[in-house]
């Protein structure tokens, strides 16, 4: 990554967890091209390195992401990565799980980044919304398509057409957020990440793949489509190790194969 990209996004390891931090606090972590490229590069690394099991996406300075950098937009800059979408994430998810740790605001493109993650942990004071219509824009980085998949249709419609925000309690009630914390969202996300890391990495990856892809499978084909993937899990060394560890009352030693 270039120095500019490394400045805009910081990627650090904590054991098997890759923490990806949007580092533009003076701009409320508004997404620009360099930050999008930084996220994409970090996610490439997540999937490429066997020792990394889970990523956490967060923002520096008490804000998750306030959306697209409008000053950059006026200069003709687009914070998209080809094939990956807005912020290097919204059109292509990594094969491994990614958790959003949300403090402050997840708005516009920031919300679209959040809902492109597999799980969400948010501080109780967080706020969420797609206010693009207030600026004569549309939530075209996935908000208008993904949000109705994750919350009731009419609630998604209201958020899109009014541009108004919802709070963390309402987001949790709707199922948009997995866990709400009174303290640090990062602490809650790390707890969730560690729970995932304790499991077989191949089983986790295939389980995520089936949950994501099965939404596009027909009722007639879904069992056949799943049958193309699950044998990879059941015939794996990890499957045998998991059974042996259970029988021997010990922690499993996963190999990811």
Instruction: In whole angstroms, give the CA distance from residue 234 to residue 231.
Output: 5
Distance of CA 182 to the CA centre of its chain: 21
What is the residue-wise DSSP string for 154-217? HHHHHHHHH---EEHHHHHHHTS-SEEESS-HHHHHHHHHHHHHTS-HHHHHHHHHHHHHGGGS
132 tagged catalytic: yes
Q: Are 163 and 130 in contact (CB under 8 A)?
A: yes
Catalytic residue among 77, 103, 132, 225: 132
Q: 100 φ, ψ to 5°? A: -90, 130
Tally of residues, the chain: 257
Rounded Cα distance between 254 and 257, Å, is 8
In the β-sheet with 9-14, what is the strand arrangement from edge to edge?
Answer: 9-14, 17-22, 54-59, 98-102, 119-123, 179-181
Catalytic residue among 49, 112, 212, 248: 112
Q: What 3-state class would DSSP assign to 41?
A: helix
| Annotation marks residue 158 as catalytic | no
What is each CA distance from 52 to 7, 47, 185, in whole angstroms? Answer: 22, 8, 21
Buried b (16+ CB within 10 A) or exposed e, 48-80: eeeebbbbbbbbbeebbbbbbbeebbeeeeebb
* CA separation for the pair 96, 199 (Å, rounded): 12
**Which of the residues are catalytic?**
112, 132
């Amino acid at each position: 990554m270039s120095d500019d990209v490394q400045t805009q996004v910081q990627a650090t390891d904590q054991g098997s967890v890759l923490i990806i931090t949007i580092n533009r606090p003076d701009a409320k972590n508004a997404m620009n091209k360099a930050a999008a490229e930084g996220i994409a590069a970090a996610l490439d690394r997540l999937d490429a390195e066997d020792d990394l099991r889970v990523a956490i996406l967060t923002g520096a300075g008490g804000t998750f992401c306030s959306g697209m950098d409008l000053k950059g937009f006026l200069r003709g800059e687009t914070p998209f990565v080809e094939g990956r979408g807005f912020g290097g994430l919204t059109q292509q998810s990594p094969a491994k799980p990614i958790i959003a740790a949300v403090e402050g605001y997840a708005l516009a493109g920031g919300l679209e980044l959040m809902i492109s993650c597999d799980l969400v942990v948010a501080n109780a004071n967080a706020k969420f919304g797609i206010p693009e219509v207030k600026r004569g824009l549309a939530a075209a980085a996935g908000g208008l398509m993904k949000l109705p998949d994750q919350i009731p249709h009419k609630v998604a419609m209201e958020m899109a057409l009014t541009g108004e925000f919802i709070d963390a309690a309402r987001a949790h009630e709707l199922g948009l957020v997995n866990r709400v914390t009174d303290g640090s969202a990062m602490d809650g996300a790390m707890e969730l990440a560690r729970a995932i890391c304790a499991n077989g990495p191949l089983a986790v990856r295939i389980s995520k793949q089936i949950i994501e892809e099965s939404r596009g499978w027909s009722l007639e084909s879904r069992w056949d489509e799943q049958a193309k993937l699950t044998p990879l899990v059941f015939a794996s060394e990890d499957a045998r190790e998991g059974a042996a560890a259970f029988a021997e009352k010990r922690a499993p030693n996963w190999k990811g194969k």
